[in-house]
Chain A
């Protein structure tokens, strides 16, 4: 039996992670099942698969905050303004991070300055 592995496009070679100058680096544990909010737009995500190590999760170039906590609104970094789509999953395969966007926004999801990639999921015919 051929084992089926899902392949992800991680956009060619891996970029080196360097923190952005204008953003305070905050690495935190991003646990499976936790929910995070953008400080620059309406984006909200649910963590489908959390990495084992602490990460600097961002949206629109700024650190995301745990849903339900208070925060100071920030200005979106134009370099991180590609936007997200509701119901889509965004991944960083190397870290083992997978996010589900529950509310869309105009910012790009990233870990430090490395953008997450849209998970390519082929639609399946409905079986329920």
Chain B
């Protein structure tokens, strides 16, 4: 199955329902299918010089064109490649060039930044729209029927991951991975006609891709914000009577600030899913208090796993918040349980499964797990098991607790120290608003523990060191605590530890 088939089903089953955009002026599933098929016929005949294009790439903000491109690429049988428009000009030029020969749809300012791009046919979003309008109405392909393993195996989406070193890697998501994910997580046509999902994550993020597929297959209207702004998000959620949304924790914090400031309650909102990074307990507790009518989901997933692999359900949230049992209450910090049909294990450094409660690396296997990078092979060396490089443990009931990236582990005097463990203790201090812990080279210990803290009230370095010392162990006590105004995050709320490590390095050498 290719992902385009999901749209064909939606257009067959719910042709006149609004698929994308506002209730007035949005396009229906039948229209979305027509536009996607036109896109496919355009892509099939497009060429750069004499060479037919092999990819449909995009460097643009979110817009109603995004689902058209995703499904259009699928029908044309070429990968869809949404890329990060926030990259510096030279990095962006390098990245887009890697897709040649390709058709590239861009935001007008991006066209100027890219300039004369070799091997690329560049169109602005509106130029692309004009081209589609000129094409004759798309016909249903005469015979795309008889079973084709090539379709299953073909690449649906390429997502460039932000490598900390070297050039970005292109994560490969084949049609079978994404289809498997949708079939195991979404139910066809199950959304009510009033349901609408607000998408504000960037289009080059896996959550931006899975949002489209889930919403279309479920029959839930997609509403886009060009990019996330808290005020805009709240206004759109209210005006469009949004019922569902996915946000990263930093977005949620800012949304709550707006709600608190202007007293908006968002009565239409029923489901809010959070993911893309650890959810501070203080933020989710505040969210549950300010939006008591909303079902909260905390999801964990990776680009390489076609999005969500584990989730904390609304029932889990309610049980945790109202429980006196510390073990149940602690689940507010967990990412819930693995999806049914997916295998998940915690393994030690040798690749052997560990006992319940023991920390190790998270490994997953299942139809949605790709774990493959372009030009690097991958995937099947371990019998389909994919090592996530995330560390964590499972509790007795199978709830998954994450403690950070394995690559972020601090090795101090031969002891492995998880920054997440220290951050968890520090964030619980009433004077700490945000915190990040990294390692810095140390002559005596190999690495030392350095904490960056955004304080919410007055507190001293000594007080925070003591706070950690009495709760963990002396080796975990930060040798240095730096007070800062903000921590560096990327636009999806991921903490940029690399930036802090470099900063810590500079101060460590003084």
Contact = CB atoms under 8 A, between A and B. Distances in A.
Interface stretch (B53-61, B84-92, B184-192): B184-192
A86 B314 contact: no
A1 B398 contact: yes
Contacts of B188: 86-88
Contact of B146 (A34, A122, A124): A34
B313 interface: yes
B148 interface: yes
Contacts of A127: 185, 246, 273, 275, 297, 299, 301, 307-308, 311
Given A33-B1, A33-B148, A128-B215, 7 more contacts: A1-B356, A31-B149, A46-B5, A68-B145, A102-B8, A124-B185, A126-B220
Contacts of B213: 128
Interface stretch (A2-10, A12-20, A106-114): A2-10
Contacts of B299: 127
B210 A125 contact: no
B112 interface: no
B338 interface: yes
A123 B315 CA distance: 13
A43 to B, nearest CB: 13
Interface string B335-358: 000111111111000000100100
A67 B146 contact: yes
B326 interface: no
B149 A33 contact: yes
B207 A125 contact: no
Contacts of B187: 87, 121, 123
Contacts of A76: none
A102 B145 CA distance: 13
B462 to A, nearest CB: 41
A48 interface: yes
6 contacts: A4-B338, A6-B340, A34-B145, A34-B148, A103-B12, A121-B184
Interface string A66-102: 1111000000000000000011110000000000101
A48 B183 contact: yes
A89 B9 CA distance: 14
Contact of A89 (B152, B183, B215, B345): B183
Interface in B131-166: 142-149, 151-152
A66 B12 CA distance: 19
Contacts of B271: 125-126
Nearest to A87: B188
Contacts of A59: none
Question: Quick one: which of A35, A48, A123, A125 has the most chain B CB within 10 A?
Answer: A125
The 3 closest A-B pairs by CB, nearest first: A34-B147, A87-B188, A68-B145
B214 interface: yes
A47 interface: yes
Nearest to A31: B147
A87 B220 CA distance: 15
Interface residues of A, number: 34
B394 A1 contact: yes
A70 B160 CA distance: 44
B422 to A, nearest CB: 26
B211 interface: yes
Nearest to B343: A3
Nearest to B220: A126
Contact of B9 (A2, A31, A68, A102): A102
A2 B353 CA distance: 11
B341 A4 contact: yes
B132 to A, nearest CB: 26
Contacts of A1: 344-346, 353, 356, 394, 398
A48 B353 CA distance: 30
A20 B343 CA distance: 40
A126 B338 CA distance: 14
A32 B367 CA distance: 13
B346 A125 contact: no
Contacts of A86: 9, 12-13, 188-189
A86 B183 CA distance: 13
B295 interface: yes
A86 B299 CA distance: 28
B273 A126 contact: yes
B185 A66 contact: no
A33 B343 contact: no
Contacts of B308: 127-128
Contact of A48 (B1, B144, B301): B1
A71 B14 CA distance: 28
B38 interface: no
Nearest to A119: B183
Contact of A33 (B9, B152, B398): B152
Contacts of A126: 186, 197, 214, 218, 220, 244, 271, 273, 297
A13 B344 CA distance: 31
B314 to A, nearest CB: 6
A3 B385 CA distance: 13
Nearest to B400: A1
